[in-house]
């Protein structure tokens, strides 16, 4: 029997521009519920998402297609897409998805996970429809009728929008999907699909758009041409932003990494991580580090240099997810009967695209870092200069959930 193809696209656009005229307090993003089970589900899913973040990062960073390249993605968006897929998975396929996502706690059922994502997505979208947008969408071929229960759960718990399209009419279908994507990412990703496979009957899309403005913006007049040291043989020109301000800083001696905290004027922050040795940081980093850094950071005056740049990344996650144990959904053993009992479905690809812009007033999430620290004295202010490869995280300070994670190797590519 011919297996129909199911494509999953995961989009991440992060933009930081301008300083807004309002401040978003923690009370605006906290979702309260009287149900202890819901709170417990959110806690367990959030904890799993944090572990999934660094598991996926290490797999992506080590993959052959990422060697020597910038890494940037949204673990939250990837997790939401795969959790939405798990709604329609059964048997071993479902078990692999849950294990791969870290949802293998005995207290977590599919209903618990669905409930948790509904809370998390509503919480994110409650911040501001202009500054943050997260959700999913399902594009279904007109000749295919998924289970009503599957679509109902996606609509309720994953905020999914549904569209009927004629995948046989490739031009019209491509335009429909690309127009939706461009709208949801404010034009940051405007050409997701170039061509369609004739066997495709469904596209499941997860998107996240984040617009952050620095709490203390950089002065454009201080931006100067500088060099970024990619490695011992390669230096590239960059526009280097600069400010001399009181900032939160922590030096993690256990992994020899300098951590700079740049808050947005919301509950989110960017953490810039400049390690003495990148491999040491990549192998060690875990959710507990973020907790420690945010707790023990100290404020003092630094002379900060951060590159201004824009990058785009694109990944086909199929091989990476297979390495993480999510194998059956891509082959003959796939059991996606929760989507439709009368048709054998298989996932053909899982694609993740992300963009990041960093400038004087905000960011689209990723930066290359170099930190030079001078000892404090009466005459000198210590320098933090991100002019060599560094990692970055965009995280929510209240929940410590990571929206985006990246490594900047070269800000010019």
Could you write out the three-class secondary structure of 156-199? HHCCEEEEEECCCCHHHHHHHHHHHHHHHCCCCCCCCCCCCCCC
Whether residue 270 lies inside any domain: the answer is yes
Has residue 195 got a pLDDT over 80?
A: no
My answer on whether 263 and 401 are in the same domain is: yes
364 contacts 14 by C-beta, under 8 angstroms: yes
Q: Using 50, 70 and 90 to split pLDDT, how confident is the model at 158?
A: very high
Handedness of CA 134, 396, 263, 388 (dihedral sign): negative
My answer on whether 155 and 229 are in the same domain is: no
204 closest CA partner among 310, 101, 60, 336: 336
Identify the helix (H) or strand (E) that includes residue 34: none
My answer on whether 152 and 281 are in the same domain is: no
My answer on whether 331 and 292 are in the same domain is: no
Whether residue 413 lies inside any domain: the answer is no
177 closest CA partner among 204, 155, 150, 154: 204
Whether residue 51 lies inside any domain: the answer is yes
Residue 11 has a pLDDT of: 61
My answer on whether 328 and 365 are in the same domain is: no
My answer on whether 188 and 298 are in the same domain is: no
My answer on whether 111 and 18 are in the same domain is: yes
Has residue 102 got a pLDDT over 60?
A: yes
In this prediction the pTM is 0.87
- Rg over alpha carbons for the chain, rounded to the nearest Å, is 22
Torsion of CA 251, 410, 68, 320, to 10 degrees: 80
My answer on whether 295 and 164 are in the same domain is: no
> Which of these ranges, 3-12, 199-208, 266-275, 331-340, has the smallest mean pLDDT?
3-12
Neighbouring C-beta atoms of residue 257, cutoff 10 Å:
24
Residue 214 phi, psi (nearest 5): -55, 140
CATH number at residue 268: 2.30.39.10
Whether residue 49 lies inside any domain: the answer is yes
CATH number at residue 202: 3.30.497.10
> Which of these ranges, 7-11, 173-177, 284-288, 391-395, has the smallest mean pLDDT?
7-11
Summarize pLDDT for 254-287 with one digit per residue, the tens.
999 999 999 988 788 999 999 999 999 999 999 9
Mean pLDDT for the stretch of residues 211-215: 87
My answer on whether 319 and 260 are in the same domain is: no
My answer on whether 233 and 295 are in the same domain is: yes
Instruction: Give dist(CA 45, CA 25) in Å, integer.
Output: 24
Whether residue 229 lies inside any domain: the answer is yes
Q: DSSP letters along 120-133, please?
A: HHHHHHHH-TTTEE
350 closest CA partner among 3, 52, 8: 8
Whether residue 289 lies inside any domain: the answer is yes
Instruction: Give dist(CA 166, CA 186) in Å, integer.
Output: 25
SS3 at position 97: helix
Whether residue 168 lies inside any domain: the answer is yes
Domains in the chain: how many in total? 2
Handedness of CA 162, 53, 250, 240 (dihedral sign): negative
Residue 372 has a pLDDT of: 16
My answer on whether 80 and 165 are in the same domain is: yes
Residue 312 φ/ψ region, left for φ over 0, alpha for ψ in the -120 to 50 degree band, beta for the rest: beta
My answer on whether 296 and 389 are in the same domain is: yes
Report CA 256 to chain centroid distance, whole Å: 25
> What is the extent of the structural domain holding 195?
4-212+311-356
Q: Using 50, 70 and 90 to split pLDDT, how confident is the model at 356?
A: confident
Whether residue 396 lies inside any domain: the answer is yes
């Amino acid at each position: 029997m011919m297996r129909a193809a199911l494509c999953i696209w995961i989009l991440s656009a992060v933009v930081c521009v301008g300083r807004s005229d309002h401040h978003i307090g923690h009370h605006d993003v906290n979702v309260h519920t009287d149900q202890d089970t819901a709170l417990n589900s959110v806690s367990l899913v959030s904890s799993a998402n944090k572990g999934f973040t660094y598991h996926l990062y290490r797999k992506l960073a080590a993959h052959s297609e990422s060697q020597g390249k910038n890494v940037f993605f949204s673990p939250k968006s990837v997790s939401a897409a795969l959790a939405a897929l798990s709604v329609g998975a059964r048997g071993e396929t479902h078990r692999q998805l849950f294990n791969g996502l870290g949802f293998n706690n005995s207290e977590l059922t599919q209903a618990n996970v669905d409930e948790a994502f509904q809370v998390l997505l509503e919480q994110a979208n409650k911040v501001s429809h202009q500054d943050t947008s997260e959700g999913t969408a399902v594009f279904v071929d007109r000749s295919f009728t998924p289970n009503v229960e599957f679509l109902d759960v996606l609509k309720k718990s994953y905020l999914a929008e549904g569209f009927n399209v004629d995948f046989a009419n490739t031009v019209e279908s491509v335009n429909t999907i690309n127009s939706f994507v461009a709208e949801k990412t404010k034009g940051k990703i405007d050409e997701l699909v170039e061509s369609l496979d004739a066997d495709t009957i469904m596209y499941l899309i997860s998107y996240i758009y984040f617009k952050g403005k620095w709490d203390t913006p950089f002065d454009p007049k201080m931006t100067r041409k500088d060099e970024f040291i990619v490695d011992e043989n390669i230096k590239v020109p960059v526009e280097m932003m600069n400010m001399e301000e009181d900032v939160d800083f922590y030096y993690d001696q256990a992994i020899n990494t300098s951590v700079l905290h740049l808050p947005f004027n919301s509950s989110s922050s960017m953490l810039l991580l400049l390690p003495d040795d990148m491999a040491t940081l990549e192998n060690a980093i875990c959710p507990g580090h973020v907790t420690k850094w945010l707790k023990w950071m100290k404020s003092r005056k630094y002379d900060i240099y951060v590159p201004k740049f824009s990058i785009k990344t694109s990944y086909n996650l199929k091989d990476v997810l297979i390495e993480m144990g999510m194998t059956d959904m891509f082959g003959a053993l796939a059991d996606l009967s929760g989507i439709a009992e009368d048709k054998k479905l298989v996932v053909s690809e899982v694609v993740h695209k992300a963009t990041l812009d960093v400038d004087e007033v905000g960011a689209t999430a990723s930066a290359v870092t170099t930190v030079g620290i001078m000892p404090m004295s009466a005459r000198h202010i210590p320098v933090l200069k991100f002019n060599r490869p560094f990692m970055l995280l965009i995280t929510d300070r209240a929940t410590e959930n990571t929206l985006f994670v990246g490594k900047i190797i070269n800000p010019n590519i």
